[in-house]
Amino acid sequence: MDDKVAHPRVSPRTSATFDDYTNSEIRRAASTGIYDIRGAGAKRKLPHFDDLLFLGASISRYPLEGYRERCGTEVTLGDRFASKPLQLKIPITIAGMSFGSLSGQAKEALGRGANAAGTSTTTGDGGMTDEERGHSKQLVYQYLPSRYGMNPVDLRRADAIEIVVGQGAKPGGGGMLLGQKINERVARMRSLPEGIDQRSACRHPDWTGPDDLEIKILELREITRWEKPIFVKIGGSRPYYDTALAVKAGADVVVVDGMQGGTAATQNVFIEHVGQPTLACIRPAVQALQELDMHRKVQLVVSGGIRNGADVAKAMALGADAVSIGSGALIAMGDNDPRWESEYNALGTTAGAYDAWHEGRDPAGITTQDPELARRLDPVVAGRRLANYLGVMTLEAQTIARACGKNHLHNLEPEDLCALTVEAAAMARVPLAGTGWVPGTPMG
Amino acid sequence: MNAPQTAPKRQGTQTLDLGELGLRAVNSRLQDISEGSNETTWTVSNPMGQHAIACGLDSALSVDIAGQVGFYCAGMNQEAEVTVHGHAGVGVAENMMSGTVRVKGNASQSAGATGHGGLLVIEGDASSRCGISMKGIDIVVGGSVGHMSGFMAQLGHLVVCGDAGEALGDSIYEAKLYVRGTVESLGADCIEKEMTPEHLATLTELLARAGMDADPADFRRYGSARTLYHFDIDNASAY
């Protein structure tokens, strides 16, 4: 072979397995000796509501007139046993987020936005603040393993109680609020010293298993005179069995949170590798309710990656009575807004990717306890933005429902849907587009 | 321990027969009594191990329960003085805020869990996780406590006149533990600490309030080494 002949060169090829992100994570681990902790939910590509489409009306289905014919959106949550169920104008609620992980201004804005839209908001790990109660007409009080700030006075002034068994971002995991977010007030509410890391337990301290849960629910009902709806929130782990067990234990409402659901702080490996996508959780939960003859009697709230009215409509078509939003609400209020791009850059990230919510340096003033940063968020303005967002989501869902001929969002049904992928078809148990085939069932 | 299942008869005491009235009616009657009422002394008869008896009380009542109780008796108690003349199931006085709860017999696991205040006295033994995640409550146990007692205990005092099972005070924060007998083992970040005159005075006062005949000088004190207060990768082997 002549050495002077130039050989054609192949392009440098990076590995699909060891891609840039993976390599950077390996280098980070090698450098720091600790796993990555971050906020938000799963960022990987997952089967989701985008993989479903509504079919719309046709000769055999006639639509309702847009802007003219009514399409109802109201929902009642918790009328199985509670004497005072939640009556919401829209089926989109605000998910539990703690004072501590969020600034007081952010919590106030959530309340203001939810009020304006006619829906509920939810406390989080750390207890209920007076401001939160004052700014939320309908407030769900979370009953968490840590029991930080838990007391019977707040229990009675809540409008509903949500027993948190798990959350989608970390089914089976607890949490850790790092010391830099523990100011004097947060520490006092949690009965712990200021400035130290605060572990949120992964198990309840006084019950294990469904039989105990039934007794725990009895106790909470007795303390609150059987007035308050009792929600049971589960992570998207085993939605069929967990839903059935929650119903058996006496829940009024079951909240199922898929792995796209956000968290204030958890190990990245946990967020990305534990739990099931929201899309995969809904039909097993509905199946459990139907088999117990409890569908629509025990309400199902779905959360985890709900972004717009189409997602709302799809979740409800699959059998949910309502949805819950967290990340979307924060974004509406200003989280990860490009207006703070230079400050995100200074933190080594970019707008849209900022997830170091546990560090308390949020330029948008939302996931922080720094007074200077928190002041950047005007609760009135942010509340208005949230109300607008909730309103748009509702209008979008109504638009779709009318196109499917439905005079209430609750009348949407799986038959209104088809799937773009085999995976989504299998998870949602609707036909693959252009076919009558629902994976797992005989060819239609 | 065989605890007597009869309550003492006191003048002006009204009796609520749980077997006849049912749980809701009994709790409702006790919860309805407003501050300043002279209906302050009550006996609950025929408890039959039912759950959630006398939970959510929020006024200065004296309630004697004549027999064994199930889970969560006197849960979230405020102000009331509740005495169980028998044994208690899981989570007695859980998340208690104030007042006094006394168990004449033994208590099952998670006694006084997450309690924020008040005094819980268990004259017999307490099972595992006694005082788990306690947040300011004082607990005095006449007998011994099971494993993982004082787990993640944040504030308050746990006094054990007998022995403590394994992993006492695991992941403890600022709660103070006093044990007279042996400790099978200490949990992560829990260490023996000096018994100062101040601690001795606190212990003496707690024993007196609980009516325990024990010499404070016989006790040893345990608390947090505070090495897990900030996440440090070098501590990973501790858990």
pLDDT digits (tens, 9 = 90+) for A189-236: 888 888 888 788 899 999 999 999 999 999 999 999 999 999 999 999
CB contact under 8 A, B152 and A201: yes
| pLDDT tens digits, A377-425 | 999 999 999 999 999 999 999 999 999 999 999 999 999 999 999 999 9
Q: At B226, list the tokens.
A: 């505070």
3-state secondary structure at position A143:
strand
Is A347 within 8 Å of chain B by CB? Answer: no
CB contact under 8 A, A205 and B155: no
> How far does the CA of residue A179 sit from the closest CA of chain B (Å)?
7
* Neighboring chain B residues of A151 at a CB cutoff of 8 Å: 76, 95, 97, 116
| pLDDT tens digits, B1-23 | 666 677 777 778 999 999 999 99
> How far does the CA of residue B79 sit from the closest CA of chain A (Å)?
12
> How far does the CA of residue A142 sit from the closest CA of chain B (Å)?
15
Residue A188 in this model has a pLDDT that exceeds 90: no
Q: At B149, list the tokens.
A: 């007692």
Is B128 within 8 Å of chain A by CB? Answer: no
Cβ A216 vs Cβ A206: under 8 Å? yes
Cβ B65 vs Cβ B47: under 8 Å? yes
Place of tokens 């967020």: A271
Mean pLDDT for the stretch of residues B180-197: 97
**Chain A from 216 to 255: CB within 8 A of any B CB:** 216, 218-219, 222-226
A174-178, A359-363, A427-431: lowest mean pLDDT where? A174-178
CB contact under 8 A, A34 and B136: no
- What percentage of chain B reaches a pLDDT higher than 90? 87
* Neighboring chain A residues of B133 at a CB cutoff of 8 Å: 146-147, 201, 205
pLDDT at A342: 98
pLDDT at A3: 61
pLDDT at B166: 98
- What percentage of chain B reaches a pLDDT higher than 70? 96
Is B113 within 8 Å of chain A by CB? Answer: yes
Residue A436 in this model has a pLDDT that exceeds 70: yes
Is B135 within 8 Å of chain A by CB? Answer: yes
What confidence category does residue A21 fall into, taking pLDDT thresholds of 50, 70 and 90?
A: very high
- List CB contacts of A239: < 8 A, sequence separation 6 or more: A256, A276, A280, A281, A282, A284, A285, A288
Residue of B nearest to A225 (CA): B28
What does the alpha-carbon distance between residue A25 and residue A34 come to, in Å, rounded to a whole number?
11
Place of tokens 């959360």: A303
Other Cβ atoms less than 10 A from the Cβ of B109: the count is 23
CB contact under 8 A, B230 and A197: yes
A48 backbone dihedrals φ, ψ, rounded to 5°: -145, -175
Question: Domain B14-227 class?
Answer: mainly beta
pLDDT at B10: 72
* Neighboring chain B residues of A219 at a CB cutoff of 8 Å: 51-52, 55, 71-72, 75
pTM of full prediction above 0.90: yes
DSSP B31-43: HTPPTT-S--EEE
- Which of these CATH numbers, 3.20.20.70, 3.40.50.300, 3.90.79.10, 3.80.30.10, describes A37-428? 3.20.20.70
pLDDT at B3: 67
Is A358 within 8 Å of chain B by CB? Answer: no
- List CB contacts of A166: < 8 A, sequence separation 6 or more: A172, A173, A233, A234, A235, A237, A257
A233: left (phi over 0), alpha (psi -120 to 50) or beta: beta
Q: Where are the alpha helices (DSSP H) in A42-183?
A: 104-117, 130-135, 152-157
| pLDDT tens digits, B193-207 | 999 999 999 999 999
How many beta-carbon pairs below 8 A join chains A and B?
Answer: 103
| Sequence-distant contacts of B125-132: CB under 8 A, at least 24 apart | B125/B1, B125/B162, B128/B165, B129/A205, B130/B158, B131/B156, B131/B158, B131/B175, B132/A205, B132/A206
Q: Delimit the domains of chain A by residue range.
A: 37-428
What confidence category does residue B34 fall into, taking pLDDT thresholds of 50, 70 and 90?
A: confident
A394 backbone dihedrals φ, ψ, rounded to 5°: -65, -45
What does the alpha-carbon distance between residue B54 and residue B7 come to, in Å, rounded to a whole number?
15
Which of A146, A151, A178 is nearest residue B116 as measured by Cβ atoms?
A: A151
How far from chain centre, in Å, is Cα A48? 14
Mean pLDDT for the stretch of residues A60-77: 94
> How far does the CA of residue B106 sit from the closest CA of chain A (Å)?
17
